[in-house]
Chains A and B, each alone.
Chain A
Amino acid sequence: MDAGAPIAASEVRFRSLFENTPELVLYQNPAGIILDANPAFLAVVEKSKEQVIGKPYSDFLPLRAQPIFTQKLREAIAGKTVRFEVFASQGQSAPRHWDVVKIPLRQEGEVVGVHMVARDITEKTQHQEEIFVQNQNLQQFAYIVSHNLRAPLANAVGLVELLSTEEQGSPFFEETRQYLQQNLQQLDLVLRDMNTILTIRDQQHLAVPESVPLQEIISQVLQDLADVLDQCGGTTQIEIDQHMRVQANRAYLYSIFFNLLTNAIKYRSDQRPLHIAIAAIRDGGGRQVVTITDNGVGFDQEQAGADIFKLYKRFHTKLSGRGVGLYLVKTHVENMGGQIEVHSQLGEGTRFTLTLR
């Protein structure tokens, strides 16, 4: 039997792997010169085989990534198989995350060259980063919720302690009992809020957008708030084309305007009658830009900064607020692929700008 036949067969098998694998495969000599490169590598660097062979691999690496490749090549030449992850471009390609293995090739006990196999792990890395951020958000959420449960609960513990020392039926007893009741209701509210938020998060992938007439939703909200608006002598001015439609979830849209208008009423100024103006225009990109402007007490934007939409952050001292409304508004807007911005001036008023599809 011809001893050359099985070697030729295995050569075909390995050649096929080399030619067809999506991983980048290089063979370098100890000086780092490329002696062979597979089509996957050539495709990424957009060069022909002739343009690559005989060149140092570092020609195809960004300056920033060269030291690690040089270092790992040295380790492989010393006889070790090395594996590392790197974020780098190859040639002119966009930078990607690579899982790189360098394997020494020995002949008669001496390392004569190094194989390199680089696998693109960009998507996997991005998913990991997303999960990491999501985990951090959830941890933050759990922390915020636990803090907001703890506040009324600590009060309740203190009040019950106090109650046991007060004479039953005395005014102090009654006052303490009322505070206790308020704090237990607060506790209940926090849990309900949490439930609402979790439900929304749960359903955010189910929110199928439909074409919703904007004016109809706003009219509905104004109708539902008509009594409260009347009581405080508030007026509204709506400038929206009655045919304007937005790609939205009806319930979300209602909740957004209900929350924003309720805020405008709650944080009205006692210096002047409340006036709310709502206007919508279509921007150049075919998106609907809705502004809700009030002449209320406003807030110090510099102080509030990016916190205005955060859960359980409050910016008014004298008025009750749980710090949930604007968090929900932002969540809803973003679930529909929109954006929300706020501009406010203390003592002047507040303007919310929604950009919707």
Chain B
Amino acid sequence: MQTILIDDDPTGVFLVKRLFQRAGLPDCLTTFLLPAEALAFLQQAPTEALPEVILLDLNMPLLSGWDVLEALKPQQEELKQRCSIYILTSSLAPADVARAKDNPLVVALLHKPLDYQKIQDIQARLRQ
């Protein structure tokens, strides 16, 4: 399950990394602390290099998770074929949940913290 995590919070990155290790997926995770770098990667990557799963934080300086999704719009069709994008946020705001539902790129919004159960759910969904 090739996954990239976009989160500016070092704790968030540490937690997800360790969870992936413990779930037996240590080589499946690439992390970006800077959303701009992640965006550049996604925009340049050939289709076959795109990850299967993207975990995207919302509240980041300069480029929010919503900004990243907006910037990815031109390659929406390609991404939908290949990637499942999950929003991973500590926000409990119903407005964010509603906005995630409306965004065709987003599979679901997950509330932080990520845990084994959520990783298993993502995997199960991927197998479907």
User: Which A residues contact B (CB, under 8 angstroms)?
Assistant: 143, 146-147, 150-155, 157-159, 161-162, 165, 172, 175-176, 179, 182-183, 300, 303, 313-317
Contacts and interface: CB of A to CB of B under 8 A. Distances in A.
A317 B113 contact: no
A247 B8 CA distance: 42
B113 A157 contact: yes
Contacts of B8: 317
Which 9 A-B pairs rank lowest in CB-CB distance, beginning with the nearest? A158-B113, A154-B112, A314-B61, A154-B90, A151-B90, A155-B11, A150-B90, A158-B15, A179-B11
Nearest to A160: B113
Nearest to B95: A143
A248 to B, nearest CB: 31
B14 A150 contact: no
Contact of A159 (B10, B11, B22, B60): B11
Interface of A is mostly: helix
Contacts, number: 66
Interface of B: 8-12, 14-15, 18-19, 22, 33-34, 59-62, 90-93, 111-115
B90 A147 contact: yes
B6 to A, nearest CB: 12
Contacts of B34: 317
Nearest to A303: B62
B9 A155 contact: yes
B61 A159 contact: no
Interface of B is mostly: loop
Contacts of B61: 313-317
B91 A162 contact: no
A161 B115 CA distance: 8
Given A179-B11, A315-B62, A172 B18 contact: yes
A75 B8 CA distance: 63
Given A155-B90, A159-B113, A315-B62, 14 more contacts: A143-B93, A147-B92, A150-B90, A150-B92, A154-B90, A155-B11, A155-B15, A158-B112, A161-B113, A162-B18, A165-B22, A179-B14, A303-B62, A317-B34
Contacts of A150: 90-92
A158 B93 contact: no
A162 B22 CA distance: 9
A159 B111 CA distance: 15
Contacts of A146: 92
Contacts of A147: 59, 90-93
A44 B76 CA distance: 62
Contacts of A300: 62
A167 to B, nearest CB: 12
A165 B10 CA distance: 20
A179 B112 CA distance: 15
